[in-house]
């Protein structure tokens, strides 16, 4: 989905540039707060990892393969701030070193692929982890849902950018249908790989999964020969009110997931066709295939236009709800940070 120059007009490119710069600035602060002087080496190495893992081919069938985009994975493994930084740096370097993605489209690319993907994935992930029962299974499941939503969310963001700044008047409905339809498919692949990878890391070094910190077993005290929990210092009320937020997020995600699957089962023809297009495309230019918007006009044949349009709406609303929940949660968290350091401590 690396957007080239000239795809989005100059004013909107500049505007997204500002958005991207602001997001990177916020992330720089956030990352430094979390990692202090370890930021540069750790974020650099994680960026190198994302860069490398994008080259890891996941065979789909008969010679075609896809690869990871990595936004959701980065968000879950190293947190939203560092995640945004890593993916942004990868995009910047791809633009400058490999001419992959236009220089004037950097703002669009970063906003879309680094910011939206990472933030949505992280918000969904944290929301689910909070409401699901503790355990590795929950983390894997949450990673799956987070990644499966993050990719179409980026498609929605792209469609919105295109709606205001696209240089061709292809109808927004068509762009949305094509982008979102294809990215739901890509999202499923991305989600499977992300969930498996996070699962693999959690199994070996759970402490390295940023999104799962605070979930580690509590310290025990031995009192009179029996193990007891260390008393919680955080007020219980705060924890309970958090729960409501998480449940809202979860319900939104579930509704979303339901619609997605409904869509998937309702129009198998269109999806198969996209898959076929993807396949041909993947053979010629493997790396660009999984995320290029071209494949995707196959979906324009989806018979029920209302259905696909509706889907776009639902995803849009869902993303808004999730992002809003995320913001709300971030604010809440900051406010309660001093009261409950236990939930955020640890490296």
Partner 1 sequence: MGAGHAHRLYRHGHSPVHALPPHTKLAAVFAFVVVVVSTPREAMWAFGLYAVLLGVVAYVARVPARFLLKRLLIEVPFVAFAVLMPFVAEGERVEVLGMSLSVSGLWGAWNVLAKGTLGVAASVLLASTTELRELLLGLQRLKLPPLLVQIASFMIRYGDVITDEMRRMRIARESRGFEASGVRHWGVLAKSAGALFIRSYERGERVHLAMVSRGYAGSMPVIDEVTASRAQWSYALALPVTALVVCVVGWTL
Q: Considering only residues 22, 230, 294, 327, which one is a binding residue for partner 1 as defined by CB under 8 A?
A: 294
Nearer of residues 17 and 324 to partner 1, judged by Cβ: 17
Ramachandran assignment for 132, one of left (phi > 0), alpha (psi -120 to 50 degrees), beta (any other): beta
- In the bound complex, what is the minimum distance in angstroms from residue 48's beta carbon to partner 1? 4
Instruction: Locate 209 and state its tokens.
Output: 């999964």
- Give 87's contacts (C-beta < 8 A, 6+ positions apart): 47, 50, 70, 71, 74, 110, 113, 114, 117, 118
**Identified binder of partner 1 from the candidate list 75, 85, 124, 154, rule CB under 8 A:** 85
* Stretch of residues binding partner 1 (CB under 8 A), selected from 39-47, 118-126, 224-232, 255-263: 39-47
Q: Are 111 and 19 in contact (CB under 8 A)?
A: yes
CB 244 to partner 1: min, Å: 33
* Residue 251 binds to partner 1 (criterion: CB under 8 A): no
CB of 20 to partner 1, least distance (A): 12
Smallest distance, partner 1 to C-beta of residue 223, A: 36
Per CB under 8 A, does 248 bind partner 1?
no
Residue 313 CB neighbour total at 10 angstroms: 13
Which parts of 175-204 interact with partner 1 (CB under 8 A)?
192-193, 196-201, 203-204
Q: Say what the alpha-carbon torsion angle 97, 120, 59, 87 is, to the nearest 10 degrees.
A: 20
- Which residue matches tokens 């992959």? 100
- Least distance between partner 1 and beta carbon 52 (Å): 5
SS3 (DSSP) at 223: strand
| Site size for partner 1 (CB under 8 A) | 87
3-state secondary structure of 65: strand
Give 23's contacts (C-beta < 8 A, 6+ positions apart): 84, 88, 110, 111, 114, 115
Q: Which of residues 148-167 bind partner 1 (CB under 8 A)?
A: 167
Instruction: Please tell me whether residue 222 binds partner 1 under the rule CB under 8 A.
Output: no
Stretch that binds partner 1, among 218-226, 291-299, 302-310, 334-342 (CB under 8 A): 291-299
Q: Which stretch binds partner 1 (CB under 8 A): 102-110, 119-127, 152-160, 250-258?
A: 102-110
SS3 132: coil
E strand intervals along the chain = 58-61, 64-66, 220-223, 226-229
Q: Of 43 and 148, which has the nearer Cβ to partner 1?
A: 43
Q: Decide whether 188 or 330 has the Cβ nearer to partner 1.
A: 188
């Amino acid at each position: 989905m690396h957007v080239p120059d000239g795809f989005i007009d100059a004013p909107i490119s500049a505007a997204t540039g500002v958005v991207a710069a602001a997001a990177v600035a916020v992330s720089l602060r956030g990352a430094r707060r979390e990692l202090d002087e370890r930021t540069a080496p750790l974020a650099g190495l994680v960026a190198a990892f994302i860069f490398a893992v994008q080259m890891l081919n996941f065979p789909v069938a008969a010679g075609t393969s896809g690869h990871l985009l990595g936004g959701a994975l980065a968000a879950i493994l190293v947190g939203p701030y560092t995640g945004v930084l890593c993916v942004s740096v990868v995009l910047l370097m791809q633009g400058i070193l490999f001419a992959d993605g236009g220089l004037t489209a950097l703002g669009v690319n970063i906003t879309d692929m680094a910011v939206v993907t990472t933030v949505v994935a992280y918000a969904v992930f944290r929301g689910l982890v909070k409401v699901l029962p503790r355990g590795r299974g929950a983390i894997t499941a949450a990673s799956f849902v987070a990644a499966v939503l993050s990719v179409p969310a980026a498609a929605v963001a792209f469609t919105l950018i295109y709606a205001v700044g696209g240089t061709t008047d292809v109808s927004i409905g068509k762009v949305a249908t094509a982008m979102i339809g294809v990215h739901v498919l890509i999202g499923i692949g991305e989600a499977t790989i992300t969930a498996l990878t996070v699962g693999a890391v959690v199994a070996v070094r759970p402490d390295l999964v940023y999104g799962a910190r605070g979930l580690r077993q509590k310290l025990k005290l031995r009192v009179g020969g029996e193990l007891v929990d260390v008393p919680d210092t955080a007020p219980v009320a705060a924890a309970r009110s958090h729960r409501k937020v998480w449940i809202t997020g979860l319900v939104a995600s579930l509704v979303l997931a339901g619609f997605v699957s409904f869509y998937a089962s309702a129009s198998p023809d269109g999806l198969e066709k996209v898959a076929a297009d993807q396949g041909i495309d993947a053979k010629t230019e493997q790396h660009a295939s999984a995320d290029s918007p071209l494949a995707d006009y196959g979906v324009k044949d989806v018979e029920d236009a209302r259905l696909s349009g509706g889907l776009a709406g639902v995803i849009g609303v869902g993303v808004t709800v999730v992002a809003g929940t995320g913001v709300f949660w971030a604010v809440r968290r900051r406010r309660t940070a001093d009261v409950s350091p236990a939930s955020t401590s640890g490296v």
